[in-house]
Amino acid sequence: MTHARLLALALLALPIAPVSAALTGTAAAMPASTLSGAWKGKLDGFYELDARFTVKGNRVTGVLRFAKIDFPFQGTWDAARNLVTFKYTYAKEVQTVKATLKGSTLTGFNISPKGKQTAVSLARVTTAGAGTAGVNAGAYVMTGVVRDDKGNPIAGVEVFADHTAYYNMNAVGKTDAQGRYTITLAHQPGTWNAGAYLRGQVGGQPFEVRLSPDNDTPFDGSKGAVRNFTYKASTGATGKVYTTVAHSAVELDYETLEFTFTPDGPNSAGSTAPLTRKFVMGFGVPNIPLGRYRVSATHVLNGVKQQLLLSSRQQKNEATSVLAEFTDDSHYGQTLELFLKNP
């Protein structure tokens, strides 16, 4: 496993660390609208990544969000080269991100103190205008629409607004058949944050996904706001796969261990297509869409690829392909457990 991939995985579990010292630079100034705003993308081509940039002259500040953890950063914007460079700190080590802007896309690398590079790609988040929900946002009104990543409206989503200063002051509404909602806010001074919950059931198991608005900036209640939401089914309702060896004599090569999940009916991403994922040391197999699956596993031992035997909570008898599904664990959340054995 490469150092770059270990870096990407380490971010899943590490707490927020202090922000690195401010950078200095001499690049030419650029209007803030070029880079400022919200961006979404991937780290290492797989892991969900969010960023928000604020540009003043050639100075950049913002927050990098990964696995529900915020990493504040500071850096510079080189207008002549369309290059943004910023630094953030975690585990007492300063990481550097360098990315080039082309149109509405940022591409570059996360560079570790030892020079290892992990790919970073971000796309600009665009939000619809005030009339999207059919009702213009006015004083003490939050309105918007909830869609999936294909643009289809989602009904029955619980949308809420929380006051940033007053404890337990919130307003709640639900989306209609067109995915629209309108919430009336309390006439109190100050700002509000928006959020939503999508709840459903797949494979006989309930799930709940917290949605963040496409524009997550707090807004002044007296002015109102439009806050739209996008549910990404491919990553929204997921769980972890945990593995256990059947007995102490089992030999596994974890570097080559991989699993194929064939949905037994549509999963939480609405797909019935098989997916193959590698085992991740320390994390099992993360981010699998919830559902019921037929699962198989292989590894390479002593240069020979082997089809492993498995059993599960649902199928106790060992086989090369077993039925398994996610269940809700009070401590670990939605999990699917597999027991492995050599053939």
Tokens describing residue 65? 């969000």
155 neighbors 148 (Cβ within 8 angstroms): no
List, in order, residues 6 or more apart from 266 with CB less than 8 Å away: 202, 272, 291
Residue pair 82/28 in contact by the 8 Å Cβ criterion? no
CA distance 121 to 84: 13
Neighbours of 74 (CB within 10 A): 16
Look-up: residue for tokens 């509404």?
Answer: 173
CB atoms within 10 A of CB 288: 23
pLDDT in tens, the chain (343 residues): 444 444 444 433 333 333 332 222 333 333 334 788 888 888 887 778 888 898 888 999 988 887 767 789 999 999 889 999 999 987 788 999 999 998 778 999 999 999 999 999 888 775 444 444 445 678 899 999 999 877 888 888 999 999 999 888 889 999 998 899 999 999 989 999 999 998 877 766 677 888 889 998 999 999 999 999 998 866 668 888 999 887 778 899 999 999 999 998 888 877 888 999 999 888 889 889 888 999 999 999 989 999 999 999 899 999 999 999 888 776 677 889 999 999 8
Residue 5, H or E segment: helix 3-10
The residue with tokens 């320390």 is: 282
Lookup result for tokens 């001499």:
26
Burial of 22 (C-beta count, 10 Å sphere; 0-12/13-18/19+): exposed
